[in-house]
A and B are shown apart, each in its own frame.
Chain A
Amino acid sequence: MSKSFKQNEVIQVHELAKSITMMEVYAPNVVEFAKPGQFVIVINEAKGERIPLTIADFSKENGILTLVFQQVGKSTMALAKRKVGDVIEHINGPLGHASLIQPFGNVLMVAGGVGIAPVFPITRALKEQNHIISIVGAKSKDGLFWVDKMKKVSDELIITTDDGSLGRAGFVTEPLKEILSNQKIDRVIAIGPLIMMKNVSKITKEKNIPLIVSLNSLMVCGMGMCGACRCTVNEKSKFTCFEGPEFDGNEVNFNEVNQRLQMYRKEEKIALDYYLGGSNGR
Chain B
Amino acid sequence: MAVKKTATPMPEQDPNVRKNNFDEVALGYTPEQAQEEAVRCLNCKTKPCVQGCPVCIDIPAFIMAIKKGDLQGSIDILHEKNCLPLVTGRVCPQEEQCQKFCSLNKIGESVSIGRLERFVADWEMKKNKTSEPKTVHYQRIGKKVAIIGSGPAGLSCAGDLIKWGYDVTVFEAFHKSGGVLIYGIPEFRLPKDIVEVEIQNLKRMGVVFDNNRLIGSGLKINDLMDRGFQAIFIGSGAGLPQFMGIPGENLSGVYSANEYLTRSNLMKSFLFPKYDTPILSAKNVAVIGGGNVALDSARTALRMGADHVYLIYRRSREEMPARQEEIHHAEQEGIDFQLLTNPLAYLGNEQGYVHQMECMRMDLGEPDASGRRRPVPREGSNFILPIDQVIVSVGTTPNPILKLTTPDLKTHHKGEIEVDNKQMTSIPGVFAGGDIVTGAATVITAMGAGRLAADSIHQYLQSCK
Hey, which bits of chain A sit against chain B, CB under 8 A? 29-30, 32-33, 43, 47-50, 74-75, 89-96, 220-221, 223-228, 230-232, 237, 242, 256, 259-260, 262-264, 267-268, 270-271, 274-275
Contacts and interface: CB of A to CB of B under 8 A. Distances in A.
Contacts of A262: 252, 351-352
Given A95-B214, A221-B174, A74 B252 contact: no
B273 A223 contact: no
A95 B217 contact: yes
A259 B273 CA distance: 22
Contact of B276 (A75, A230, A242, A263): A75
Contacts of B175: 43, 50, 89-90, 92
A259 B352 CA distance: 6
B219 A223 contact: no
Contacts of A267: 272-273, 278, 280
Contacts of B174: 221
**Can you list the 7 inter-chain pairs with the closest CB atoms, starting with the nearest?**
A259-B352, A267-B278, A226-B259, A225-B239, A49-B276, A92-B212, A263-B252
Interface residues of B, number: 43
Given A33-B219, A49-B267, A91-B212, A227 B277 contact: no
B236 to A, nearest CB: 10
A90 B212 contact: yes
B167 to A, nearest CB: 19
B256 A92 contact: no
Contacts of B334: none
Contacts of B37: none
A12 B399 CA distance: 36
A223 B218 contact: no
Main secondary structure of the interface of A (DSSP, over half): mixed
A226 B261 CA distance: 9
Contacts of A237: 243, 245, 249-250
Given A74-B276, A221-B174, A267-B272, A50 B351 contact: no
Contact of A227 (B213, B259, B272, B353): B259
Nearest to B271: A47
B401 A227 contact: no
A224 B400 contact: yes
A274 B278 CA distance: 13
A256 B263 contact: no
Nearest to A33: B218
B241 interface: yes
Nearest to A225: B239
A261 B353 CA distance: 12
Contacts of A264: 278, 280
B351 A259 contact: yes
Contacts of A75: 276
B263 A223 contact: no
Contact of B268 (A33, A47, A226, A230): A47
Interface string B242-276: 01010001111101101100110001100011111
A235 B262 CA distance: 27
A89 B267 CA distance: 14
A252 to B, nearest CB: 12
B276 A223 contact: no
Interface in B201-252: 211-214, 217-219, 239-241, 243, 245, 249-252
Contacts of B217: 33, 93-96, 223, 242
19 contacts: A47-B275, A49-B276, A50-B267, A75-B276, A92-B213, A220-B277, A223-B214, A225-B183, A225-B258, A225-B399, A226-B241, A227-B241, A227-B255, A227-B258, A237-B250, A259-B252, A263-B352, A268-B278, A270-B278
B276 A224 contact: no
B385 interface: no
Contacts of A259: 251-252, 351-352
A223 B277 contact: no
B347 interface: no
Given A225-B241, A270-B273, A220 B401 contact: no
B173 interface: yes
A77 to B, nearest CB: 11
A242 B401 contact: yes
A95 B400 CA distance: 13
